[in-house]
Chains A and B, each alone.
Chain A
């Protein structure tokens, strides 16, 4: 089922088109990562889907419903990009107030459990006015899930929290996802997105430039795979023969005395290369394959970093 669907969604602030016609579909059970530089329009996009700001054009639906009805609001949790709490209320009072706003009676026990999941149990009865930035972020995540929604929007859930808490939050996201929740998140931590997201979109100046699973992004990126082979020392005739053999797969070959790297298009060529080299009487001790990271795709670097076009003597 399509949990989120947008068609030509737009937002203009004055004359500036911040979100410039976005068509996007998120299916149930996905952890959807939304990437882009500062000011790309990620938060603006999320804010439209969550009723914080109004679209200038296009349309969207959540759970195939075009309006944010009370039922839809109950199914959705949101951690907005920038928001504050009531300084005079405690963490637990916030959770109870917010859940009752969407018509869910969250008991004290459930609220404590929710706070525990984000590592905030000890702060449950402290006033939010005394919280640090990271603590507020964690409370923000707690309030987004306290009413057991089916879809959550998390705008930079781990920015500003310590490394340990970030891992705890990533674990929580995965756990919630295993329980069937769909997650739509933004992050500037590419490693995190690569690690936990099942689908990724990259946004640039209000448009989506890349979209797909990590594998699809790699293909789209026209990316290659760098295979590193550690082998028995190569004497001259074998070296030429290996080069001739490997040239069938790649133009980027770097043959050293005991280490060779080959850039190939797909992983299908790996077993063929291993078999071919063995037939040439070369012993292989180790074979590793590097795929381009999300970082390389995101930064639009072409190819892998260690490639050379010539054969070393």
Chain B
């Protein structure tokens, strides 16, 4: 008996506004109204300025290691734009643009990379978790957050962001499997930026697309141009609707590119072809959205000039706010460990010592020495 085909699959790739500025009017109809396109462009420009300033802060010793977001702004921005304000955002560290759109003050991200935990003290009503440093781990939290929403019969869903590298971690696969089999409202947004530090995406995935990872878990999956804010908003909007309506997860592969080094501690010239970078510089998400606006006379040079000035001002003000916050005191590392501080920890906090005599110098007076065998 000949083998039967029991499964057929196809993967769609969605693009609406391409790198030349060509706009697919049919696909792009009603995705983002023009007034919003202007606001999104302005926001993206400010985020680009933020990124450049953050980079310089690290270079001048005013901040620790920083992962540039440059070139990937449209992914998180398009996604957050398409979500509700109480949908959970579960980011890693290249989603500044979307987080700022949701309302995270820029100095939080600066504080985090300045080595100050207060950068993670994110107001609850922003519905976002702190940046995840251990790769892929946050995806499971997104599944749990979505699960709680479903349990409480809320309308809210969760959106997890992660890189191409993250798709190799076991946690990623567990998250996809849980979400699919427990019918949970999660949108998985994979930022495929071509690299996991120096390792190209093909070392994480031998299939032609990362999107098809979703197929194996029995969930909807789609690829899209991650540098196209319209495509992002559209696919995330559809995935969010599916999540809300059917409690079904979606795996989205957003094709984008890391225009900078992995972080300020990295030097991509060691492993990356300059020609590849040049190609992607032309696909910068900012360029095409500016072209879109100019073609429709929604933006002009004088507004651009004013926007640049505003971006410089807003970012400078955020840097000022971050740098003006007084350094944390040593008690800070003890105070947030438990709801109630155990006694021994309180002693360490009060004395800043771990040695018994340091914690309790009165022993120095009280004790007479034990009989010694030493002369």
Partners in one complex: no
Interface set of A (CB-CB < 8 Å, partner B): none
Interface set of B (CB-CB < 8 Å, partner A): none
